[in-house]
Chains A and B, each alone.
Chain A
Amino acid sequence: MNKINKYKEITKDILYKSFLLISFFAATSCSTDTTQKVTNFSKLVMQDEFNTDGVPDATIWGYDLGTGNSLTGGGWGNNELQYYTNRAENVKVENGYLLITAKKESYNGSSYTSARLTTKGLFEQAYGRFEARIKLPYGQGIWPAFWLVGANIDEVGWPQCGEIDIMEYRGQEPTKVLGTVHGPGYSGENAISKSYSLLNNRFDTGFHIFGIEWGPNYINYYVDNVLYNQITPADVTGDWVFDHPFYIIINLAVGGNFLGNPNSETVFPQTMLVDYVRVYTK
């Protein structure tokens, strides 16, 4: 009898300990989903996985062409050197990626060509999570960007319409990206900006996730699984204009005021690869 009781007690003991152990593992395993720390919006409302080879999806993407428009003037307002085209050598979808390529070539009076995609008039949204997975190019004077512009730009002009730069990068600083807002009283050199740098790594050797989560009173910037910047109305030195629909721009510029021009060390062509663009709401 004693023996049997002992056996039962030992079993109970083991069962209890096992239960504790399993609970412990269950509790700690919840924290492995790191994206939950930086993003909360999960209702997918737009995506382009770039899975169809050829011309980018025309229901999502249009093109800014040439060296500027009536609003920006030449050099797209920044003394940029490229002539944007929609030719396949500057923009195409291949093997699951969107490729935007800057080339050094004489074209219509410019010395470089590249591409600038825009969702103006095709996809515009206020607030939400805007995310892209990108492998960046490199080199002096190479300037890729993933950004949003206020859809009312034709009515109120820039910077009144607002601009959110989800990711900007200077090719001669391959370990650093910037997240920025431009608005009335805080635009251009006075924009509100913060940088994020990789340690022991760089942005042109692999894919990284760049995104924002944007609510009525905040814009959170993240790179991979790190939340590195939050901009709120208190942080801007002017009106908070991030309260109406914005459209997306993805482009690769060459040279200009923001980072200086390429030099003889800059290797051409340079390609930006985009794996996907996804937009969510709460």
Chain B
Amino acid sequence: MKNIKFINLKNIFLLGLILNLLVSCEREISDEAQFAEMPKTAEIFTDDFVGMGTNFFFPFISDGAKADVFAVDKEVGHESIASIRIDVPDATDSDGNFAGAIFKIDGAGRNLTQYDALTFWAKSTQSATIGSIGFGEDKFLTLKSGVRFTTKWTKFIIPIPDPSKLINEKGMFLFSAGGIGTPGNEVGYSFWIDDLKFEKLGTIAQPRPKILNGENQVLKSFKGSSSTLGGLTQTFNLASGMNQTVSAAPSYFTFKSSNIEVARVSELGVVSVVGEGTAEITASIKGVKAIGSLTIEASGSFGTAPMPTELAADVISLFSDKYTNVPVDFFNGFYGGSTTQTADLKLGNDNFKYYSTLNYVGIEFGNPVVNATEMGFLHLDIWTNDDTSNNFIIKIRDRGANGTLNTDVNTGNPTEDDKEIAYTLSANNITKGQWVSIDIPLTGNIANQKNNLAQIVFVGDINFILDNLYFHK
């Protein structure tokens, strides 16, 4: 009896010991896993995918991309037995009118800090221009646009803007490509990608980062507004002697404001104006100063425009946060002789257009035109801080049935089947420092022809903010 008890106790102790060891071993392993570095695998696809996991292909369906475009082709390869094949669809394909996707690791991200470029070999069924190609999830997205594929296998190099940032990256490869031919009727084709990997070429040199595409811009802005820096690129010289420029996500850059009491800039390149005065925004990648800068000249706050009161059903809106906007081709056509600059301003969730150095500027909306037959007025709200003795003129143009705007280039007047009215806001009625609301009756020359409205032109000399541009009953 004693023996049996003793053995049981021993077993219990033994079990307890084993259990304890097992549990404690697991804790130790997970502690170590937290400190481990990400794998440094270079290859993405050689004769098959390397270290990508199972579910790694994500087409950009929400942007209209066709889902079923990707296959591993076992009959085509660059000095190998297999390659990635992408079948770019026709523009008229009901499943999606372009091919665009990301190959994202289903698993742990990679440490790519020791490499200097993504490289691959590619060829296509016919010469084609790929819209964009690159790597990185949103945070470190790197894209080369307008890459030309031919029917011959060619090696491509996409340099990494700053490899030291890529300590944990899952976005291995991205592309976006549409068909070839006349817009709206593009025809599909196929291309192949092989030997897709990261490399340390050792010959990627002479970094020349840029913001605002290398321009020094001056923006007259307002306390409370914010805008996002664009034109962010990195350029390297390759062993071939060619310069290769890629668009680089804001997270590669370090941004700086010369005066944080006037403007601040976030890690994502969002410039927020917080006070009146002047500030210069600059940037760098890995200690190399970017070419280009933004000088903010900030004046006082402009506040929000009056809230529109019309019912949505009674409105055709071109630019407003209250209503759903119809398509607008552009808010500045940069017509010959025009000095006008246009910027987007944002106050919280409120969007505005800012027009500066105005002489004249055109807004066009021809795809489709606005049929204002049921409408009675064009409404807009403007705000300016300028003194002026000149009138502010708003022109509304109907382009007629012939489908195009017809204008006398010398006078600016409509010709052929176009009709236009001009509304003058006299200088006396341009109240400085507060919102001015304007409702223009759709009468006169367009009273009986306003079903092909396609253009609005502003003429004047004030810098102004625009909001709530819409037609209403």
Residues of A within 8 A of B (CB): 138-140, 170-175, 199-202, 204-205, 265, 267
Q: List 16 A-B contacts (CB under 8 A).
A: A138-B206, A138-B241, A174-B203, A174-B237, A175-B203, A199-B202, A200-B200, A200-B201, A200-B203, A201-B202, A202-B202, A202-B205, A202-B239, A205-B206, A265-B243, A267-B206
- A265-B243, A267-B208 are known contacts. Are A201 and B203 too (CB-CB below 8 A)? yes
Q: How far is the CA of A158 from the CA of B201 in the complex (A)?
A: 42
A138 near B237 (CB under 8 angstroms)?
Answer: yes
Closest to B245 in A: A265
Q: How far is the CA of A170 from the CA of B243 in the complex (A)?
A: 15
Which residues of B lie under 8 Å from residue A139 when comparing CB positions?
237, 241
Closest to B205 in A: A205
Q: How far is the CA of A202 from the CA of B201 in the complex (A)?
A: 10
Closest to B239 in A: A175
Closest to B206 in A: A138
Q: Report the minimum CB–CB distance from B404 to chain A (whole Å).
A: 35
Which residues of B lie under 8 Å from residue A204 when comparing CB positions?
205-206, 237
B203 near A173 (CB under 8 angstroms)?
Answer: no
Q: How far is the CA of A201 from the CA of B241 in the complex (A)?
A: 13
A200 near B241 (CB under 8 angstroms)?
Answer: no
Q: Report the minimum CB–CB distance from A259 to chain B (whole Å).
A: 10
B201 near A174 (CB under 8 angstroms)?
Answer: no
B202 near A171 (CB under 8 angstroms)?
Answer: no
Q: A138-B205, A138-B237, A200-B203 are in contact. List 15 more A-B contacts (CB 8 A).
A: A140-B241, A170-B241, A171-B241, A174-B203, A174-B241, A175-B203, A175-B239, A199-B202, A200-B200, A201-B202, A202-B202, A202-B239, A204-B237, A205-B205, A267-B208
Which residues of A lie under 8 Å from residue B201 when comparing CB positions?
200
Q: Report the minimum CB–CB distance from A202 to chain B (whole Å).
A: 5
Q: How far is the CA of A202 from the CA of B202 in the complex (A)?
A: 8
Q: Report the minimum CB–CB distance from B311 to chain A (whole Å).
A: 55
Q: How far is the CA of A205 from the CA of B207 in the complex (A)?
A: 11
Q: How far is the CA of A205 from the CA of B116 in the complex (A)?
A: 14
Which residues of B lie under 8 Å from residue A200 when comparing CB positions?
200-203
The interface bits of chain B over 246-273 (1 if a CB of A lies within 8 angstroms of the residue's CB, else 0) are 0000000000000000000000000000
Q: How far is the CA of A267 from the CA of B206 in the complex (A)?
A: 10
Q: Which of B34-92 contact A (CB under 8 A)?
A: none
B208 near A174 (CB under 8 angstroms)?
Answer: no
- A200-B200, A200-B201 are known contacts. Are A173 and B241 too (CB-CB below 8 A)? yes
Q: Report the minimum CB–CB distance from B286 to chain A (whole Å).
A: 14
Which residues of B lie under 8 Å from residue A201 when comparing CB positions?
202-203
**Secondary structure of the A side of the interface?**
loop
Q: Which 3 A-B pairs have the closest CB atoms?
A: A172-B241, A200-B202, A205-B205
Which residues of A lie under 8 Å from residue B237 when comparing CB positions?
138-139, 174, 204
Q: How far is the CA of A173 from the CA of B203 in the complex (A)?
A: 11
The interface bits of chain B over 180-217 (1 if a CB of A lies within 8 angstroms of the residue's CB, else 0) are 00000000000000000000111101101000000000
Which residues of A lie under 8 Å from residue B243 when comparing CB positions?
265
Q: Report the minimum CB–CB distance from B258 to chain A (whole Å).
A: 26
Closest to B237 in A: A138
Q: How far is the CA of A72 from the CA of B205 in the complex (A)?
A: 35
Interface-central residue, B200, B203, B206, B241, by most chain A CB under 10 Å: B241
Q: Report the minimum CB–CB distance from A239 to chain B (whole Å).
A: 36
Which residues of B lie under 8 Å from residue A173 when comparing CB positions?
241
A174 near B202 (CB under 8 angstroms)?
Answer: no
Which residues of B lie under 8 Å from residue A140 when comparing CB positions?
241
Q: Report the minimum CB–CB distance from A204 to chain B (whole Å).
A: 6
Q: How far is the CA of A199 from the CA of B206 in the complex (A)?
A: 17
Q: Report the minimum CB–CB distance from B328 to chain A (whole Å).
A: 34
Partner of A202, one of B200, B203, B208: B203
Closest to A264 in B: B243
Which residues of B lie under 8 Å from residue A170 when comparing CB positions?
241
Closest to B243 in A: A265
Q: Report the minimum CB–CB distance from B208 to chain A (whole Å).
A: 7
Which residues of A lie under 8 Å from residue B203 when comparing CB positions?
174-175, 200-202
Which residues of A lie under 8 Å from residue B205 when comparing CB positions?
138, 174, 202, 204-205
Q: How far is the CA of A282 from the CA of B237 in the complex (A)?
A: 41
Q: How far is the CA of A175 from the CA of B208 in the complex (A)?
A: 19
Which residues of A lie under 8 Å from residue B206 when comparing CB positions?
138, 204-205, 267
Which residues of A lie under 8 Å from residue B241 when comparing CB positions?
138-140, 170-174
Closest to B241 in A: A172
Q: Which of B122-139 contact A (CB under 8 A)?
A: none
Q: Report the minimum CB–CB distance from B236 to chain A (whole Å).
A: 11
Q: How far is the CA of A30 from the CA of B200 in the complex (A)?
A: 33
Q: Report the minimum CB–CB distance from B155 to chain A (whole Å).
A: 15
Q: How far is the CA of A57 from the CA of B201 in the complex (A)?
A: 40
Which residues of A lie under 8 Å from residue B202 when comparing CB positions?
199-202
Closest to A175 in B: B239
Which residues of A lie under 8 Å from residue B208 when comparing CB positions?
267
Q: How far is the CA of A199 from the CA of B242 in the complex (A)?
A: 17
Q: Report the minimum CB–CB distance from A154 to chain B (whole Å).
A: 37
Q: How far is the CA of A202 from the CA of B116 in the complex (A)?
A: 14
Q: How far is the CA of A139 from the CA of B236 in the complex (A)?
A: 11
Q: How far is the CA of A175 from the CA of B237 in the complex (A)?
A: 11
Q: How far is the CA of A247 from the CA of B394 in the complex (A)?
A: 76
Closest to A142 in B: B241
Closest to B202 in A: A200
Closest to A201 in B: B202
Which residues of B lie under 8 Å from residue A265 when comparing CB positions?
242-243
Q: How far is the CA of A140 from the CA of B206 in the complex (A)?
A: 14
Which residues of B lie under 8 Å from residue A199 when comparing CB positions?
202
Which residues of B lie under 8 Å from residue A138 when comparing CB positions?
205-206, 237, 241
Closest to B208 in A: A267
Q: Report the minimum CB–CB distance from B36 to chain A (whole Å).
A: 29
Which residues of A lie under 8 Å from residue B242 when comparing CB positions?
265
The interface bits of chain B over 217-248 (1 if a CB of A lies within 8 angstroms of the residue's CB, else 0) are 00000000000000000000101011100000
Q: How far is the CA of A171 from the CA of B239 in the complex (A)?
A: 10
Q: Report the minimum CB–CB distance from A85 to chain B (whole Å).
A: 26
Q: Report the minimum CB–CB distance from A269 to chain B (whole Å).
A: 13
Interface-central residue, B201, B208, B237, by most chain A CB under 10 Å: B237
Q: How far is the CA of A174 from the CA of B200 in the complex (A)?
A: 17
Closest to A205 in B: B205
Interface-central residue, A170, A173, A200, by most chain B CB under 10 Å: A200
